[in-house]
Amino acid sequence: MPPDLGRLRTLETWLTLTLDRVRQQIKDAEQRQQPAPTPPPAPTPRSRTPDWGIVQAGIGTSTTEIHRGDCWAAGKTLQPITAERARTELADGAKSCDACRPDRPLGMPPPQP
């Protein structure tokens, strides 16, 4: 060790800087050893709203009804159907919903009173 204060202070500064560099190397090595964080799961895509739907006659519904897919009056039992099936069901006597009137865009004649 040097005998004078000036050189001891220089040695202290050098050791402090060296210790800081060593500590930084330790941090970097620890970060490399940690597993990579897992990304959050992708959001589940919402199912597409069908263009047309049918509600079968049953409890709470006296007749089979045809609805547009986005009809607020369709309820939770709406089953998606094709436009072709919607036309067929309407022609066979299924009721057209009074709220969304799917018979109009399907080109069906208005219901007779």
Q: What is the pLDDT of residue 25?
A: 96
Taking alpha carbons only, the member of 60, 102, 62, 101 closest to residue 81 is: 102
Q: What is the mean pLDDT of the chain?
A: 86
Burial class (CB in 10 A: 0-12, 13-18, 19+), 94: buried
How far apart are the C-alpha atoms of 108 and 83, rounded to whole Å?
11
Per-residue confidence at 23, pLDDT binned at 50, 70, 90? very high
Stated pTM of the model:
0.54
With a cut of 60, say whether residue 113 has pLDDT above it.
Answer: no
How, if at all, do strands 52-55 and 65-68 pair?
antiparallel
